[in-house]
Amino acid sequence: MGKRLPKIFINLMVLSLIISMFAFGASANGGKQVEVKELPLAELFGEIELSSSKPTTVIVELQAESIVEAKHKGKSQSKGKLKAERDKVISSLQGKVSNAQVNREYDHVFSGFSVELPANEIIQLLATPGVKAVYPNVHYTADVISAEEISAEAFSPEMMESAPFIGSDLAWDAGFTGEGVTVAIIDTGVDYTHPDLAHAFGDYKGFDFVDDDNDPQEGPGQYHGTHVAGTVAANGGIKGVAPEASLIAYRVLGPNGGTTEDVVASVELAVQDGVDVMNLSLGNTLNNPDWATSIALDWAMAEGVVAVTSNGNAGPNNWTVGSPGTSRDAISVGATQLPYNVYTSVISTSEGVSYPSAKVMGFPSDEELLSLNDGEYEFVFVGLGAEEDFEEKDLEGKIALISRGEFAFVDKATNAKNAGAVGAIIFNNVAGEQPDVPGMAVPTIKTTLADGQKLLAELEAGNNTVSFDIEFDKAVGETMADFSSRGPVTLTWMIKPDVSAPGVNIVSTFPGEGYAALQGTSMASPHVAGAAALLLQAHPNWGTEDVKAALMNTAEDMINPATGKVYPHNTQGAGSIRVLDAINTKTLVAPGSHSFGKFVKESGKQVERQSFEIKNLSKERKRYSFDVQFDGNPTGIKVMTSNNLQVQPGKTQQVNFNVQVDTSKLEPGYYEGPITVSDGTQSIEVPTILFVGEPDYPRVTGAFMGKEADGSYYVGSYLPGGAEVIEYDIYVLGPGNTIGGFVDTIGSFENVSAPIHEFNWDGTVQNGIDLPNGDWVLGVYVEKAGVTEYKAYLVTKN
């Protein structure tokens, strides 16, 4: 049996909002018909232990629209009206669940509240009138891989190149520094007293949602938000992307992270505080576009606040993007490594023994790496390289010999540096190759397990010196970091990240007047937030969609050195941002990427229609041509659009195009390629993707129950796509047709074929106890391709 969620962890992707009636005839064997009615319940997302009485916090979305959503739909809405609707729902809930405790209330970019109640009472919440959806209060953490505190004197030129690399210095020279633009840092708080950051803060510093006070100062032992803020707007020992932008801090992550209820509250407050840009270098591994945080960010974008998020650090596989990077409208950012040089390495011990597997793993600067060629070094074995492994050992000016295992390579190198070592050799603890790790604190060489054991043998024999012959091999351009999460987004099939930016070995501010080198998509995101600030200063009339399109339209493709090919769209998005190009662009194509979605293999020819807008920012009329080429020129994909389009200066035109997919001519998988928009002098490539495959989502379109002539029951469900796992549960029917307590699982099956599943049930539960006649709830749980669905039906047993 494959791994699956137990019945108490029900991932209810869709619980219908509309009552549907299903009445079915008797089975082929003949029997008494039993009426089955689907219960009207709000949607419930996420893994929630519904059978537990444990206090659980959830986020409730109301059917009444938020102030921003109503505004953009041309409807009238007010705080007072929303409060009345919210109070009505809360009162109704607390009438059924007396110990339900409301924590936070939302009305601006999200309509609802957070509430703590026993998990087994959440079903009562789903049945409360006025509730649209319920989301788990998921845990968020900072998207950072590693950190190393350094002194100002320790900066190497390579460490300081990330802002100039994306063209920030060119924007500064053109007069754009972020002045007049306010950026929200939604993070662990910010050390607003840091000399490089104090200029960016006014009297109002922000808000602390962790401690619920007006002081968003970073807490003891935390540093992430200060580092992020420096990348956006530092102006002192280092310079951020937008050094004259203003900052407001919102602390939502404590020492143990944070939760949805505080993140949504911070987005609400930031929008109401009038910020222009917000950066969220935080996330989780939940790949879903409709979580509460993503909804809040989408409406923040609609209200004119450029929302920028990290894409996550769960790469390099596809489908690893997490919320809030899954937001439809926010700008999600992947992490890149700046161009670097590759070196070959030969190491030899004093007796002339060489180690052919030796390769350069990582280094802080080219100069430090090449300095190892200058002489012979004593090497000292320090086990796994933990801090305690260096105690009472003299490593000053020596090489640390370290075994792989238990904790990160970067921490091993940092511990070696702190002990005085000038380099490290890390040997594998299993057969095979070790990864390259950029940004190591000391020059670090890697070897195989066999060569590591040879080095240990030499050391035991008294041969404790080693020499290096390190030579330049080749230069590598900007590359995607392996840890950077990849798309697409489930359900929407959207390309994520949207763009990429430097996120490896990034130096920025550290609490207490210090500096640190960090890596992660957390470090990439503030580069884009700072870039957005520069664009808004240059183009104060631009909307959020314009800023996003400009960054995507002018991003540069990156080449994967392992393949020699451009990285896929779901790896790099539109590419690595270039700030001045985005400022100076004369054409905007929005949206900046397209997903045609999924085409079911068995459906043959299918057509999907989409459109995008072209905005001519120049003072001259432009004629645009279009070319769509999917990689490999698959014969089953045909895209039809206008041959050319004429757009007057300052005007916007819509372009419609159709994609025809003949799945009979295509293998399952995803297909991508750019839409190239050209005005004769400038070309813009818009990433495009589509998927071909079988339905991989579970669907329950109905359930049935009937009594056989022998007194047993036939039970089943309608499954258009089949299921890998299906389970049937019986619950008590609560007041008002809600779901009460869990009784028993009456059937569990694997690899169920479409379109109908049926089994025989003897009418008993819990080890042979006859279920009394009357009204009950039949729950049907299905799982397929990692997606689950749970539906509930009122049934009558007689």
**686, β-bridge pairs:** 675
User: Are 724 and 751 within 8 A, CB to CB?
Assistant: yes
Q: What is the phi/psi pair of residue 117, to 5°?
A: -155, 165
**Cα–Cα distances in angstroms (integers) from residue 750 to residues 19, 215, 421, 694, 725, in the given order:** 28, 54, 57, 18, 4
Burial class (CB in 10 A: 0-12, 13-18, 19+), 75: exposed
Torsion over CA of 60, 63, 66 and 69, rounded to 10 degrees?
A: 130
**518, β-bridge pairs:** 147, 506
Which of 232, 252, 308, 297 is CA-nearest to residue 271?
Answer: 297
Q: What is the phi/psi pair of residue 788, to 5°?
A: -125, 160
Distance CA 116, CA 119 (A): 9
Per DSSP, the chain holds a count of helices (H) and strands (E) of 15, 51
Torsion over CA of 410, 415, 419 and 421, rounded to 10 degrees?
A: -20
Name every residue whose Cβ is closer than 8 Å to that of residue 164 and which is 6 or more positions away in sequence.
none
Distance CA 699, CA 384 (A): 50
Burial class (CB in 10 A: 0-12, 13-18, 19+), 620: exposed
DSSP state, residue 448:
-
Q: What is the phi/psi pair of residue 137, to 5°?
A: -85, 80
Question: Strands 769-770 and 738-752, how do they pair?
Answer: unpaired
User: Locate tokens 């769509």: which residue?
Assistant: 628
Active site residues: 187, 224, 522
Which of 280, 297, 315 is CA-nearest to residue 141?
Answer: 280
Name every residue whose Cβ is closer than 8 Å to that of residue 622 and which is 6 or more positions away in sequence.
586, 587, 616, 646, 647, 649, 679
Q: Which 3 state secondary structure label does DSSP give 456?
A: helix
